[in-house]
Structure 1
């Protein structure tokens, strides 16, 4: 590939991105997409995974038998209710720490595995496809 054609492509892309960043509708779509992306990642990491692990592990350990799971958990819950408030607070703080650590663990991996897709980049991709079609004779085959 020749450098001038590649430089022209990226210069046009940068110019278009600067232009499209000033459009209020696209800016509004960007902030909405950021909010939805963060909300999904947080709900998925702190809502689904800790709850799934909290119910799936006892279910597996009870050999997928809900009766065995209930008979194992009822004495634990009775001991919790009959314990003094200090022991209850310690148990609740331990559960909160476990919940948060599982949530943050999955949140980090969720951010890595599902990166944010910017509406600006989408707009630039669409524009550059049409720009490539218009300037096809000036660009090398692999751009």
Structure 2
């Protein structure tokens, strides 16, 4: 016994090409709109600021306090009693040792920040307002041209 293949609407290349051509034309048109261009640059600045603050502000500081807190068995008294002698030794040390310690901490902070920054850019890519506007426009364009488009575009 042979079974008939399931009936699905085939995807024609011209229909898909029409969708993407219309999307490209629309994005080219809205790139000329000053309000959207201004919103694009504002969102780029907010995105970069947010990524940098999370990567260099939150994560290194969180790790710097969380790991010692875990090692102190979540007991702040134990943590303080371990850090007070270290801080006293730092204050009593000569300037070369202090400079070395500070540069080591700065390098550790920057390296953790850069690692998180790279992963943050990969995990949370920038979403352009042009793409958002094009998505909204193409949804309405699909509805207007519904009978001409394949099922899945």
TM range (shorter): over 0.9
TM-score, normalised relative to structure 1: 0.99
- Partners in 2 of 1:109 and 1:141 — Cα distance? 36
Aligned to 1:83: 93
Aligned to 1:31: 41
1:33 deviation in Å? 0.4
1:142 deviation in Å? 1.1
Q: Any residues of structure 2 matched to 1:98-113 within 5 Å, and which?
A: 98-113=108-123
- Partners in 1 of 2:67 and 2:17 — Cα distance? 55
Determine which structure has the larger helix proportion and give its number: 1
- Partners in 1 of 2:150 and 2:112 — Cα distance? 49
TM-score, normalised relative to structure 2: 0.93
Aligned to 1:16: 26
1:69 deviation in Å? 0.3
CA RMSD of aligned residues (A): 0.4
Is 1:7 aligned with 2:17? yes
- Partners in 2 of 1:138 and 1:34 — Cα distance? 36
1:68 deviation in Å? 0.3
- Partners in 2 of 1:102 and 1:33 — Cα distance? 25
Is 1:44 aligned with 2:47? no
1:96 alignment partner, one of 81, 97, 106:
106
Structure 2: stretches of 5+ with no match in the other structure: 1-10
Q: Which has the larger radius of gyration?
A: 2
Give runs of ≥4 in structure 1 deviating > 4 Å.
none
